[in-house]
Amino acid sequence: MVQQTLESPTELLHFQLRTALTMENDSLEALGELAKAAKSPEIKKLFRHHADETREQLENLKQVFTLLEFKESTAPSPSTKGMSKQAVSLLERSAPKLRDQVALSSALGNEHYEISAYQGLILPAASMGLTDAVALLQANLDQEVHTSEELEAALEKILA
């Protein structure tokens, strides 16, 4: 398989946006699985709420593609695929009483990856003067940080 060599900061940004689109689609799928696996109605609700936010984030990404006049497409995101596989593996190996803890821990790891992905998009976009795109990406980052805090609080609560 021949891979395209990214030659410019713009090509790199486009590729990273494509990866982010895959990342959010993978996250949306994983959130459905985590909601099913969770035992607590409160945690199920938290995952459903984050799924709604993820749909908003996908729309924001699509707007960025439009703003930058990039073709909207996806690119592989092996990291998110791996995190999903790890979550499934842990859930399969865990007793039902540990499901909420495993689901929250898995989601928290994914959130931290998403936070770093958005930071990696915002910095170059800002340096290119892409103010409107930065605002949309920052909105996604802010949601990811907030979700991370919610997941951490929920995990602390069940571990107390």
> If we measure between CA atoms, which residue out of 11, 25, 17 comes closest to residue 58?
25
pTM, whole model, 2 decimals? 0.93
Residue type, 62: K
The angle at the Cα of 96, spanning 77 to 38, to the nearest 5 degrees, equals 50
Per-residue pLDDT of the chain (160 residues; tens, 9 = 90+): 456 799 999 999 999 999 999 999 999 999 999 999 999 999 999 999 999 999 999 999 999 999 999 999 998 888 988 988 899 899 999 999 999 999 999 999 999 999 999 999 999 999 999 999 999 999 999 999 999 999 999 999 999 9
CA distance 14 to 73: 9
Half-sphere exposure of 100 (CA within 13 A, CB side): 18
The angle at the Cα of 130, spanning 128 to 131, to the nearest 5 degrees, equals 130
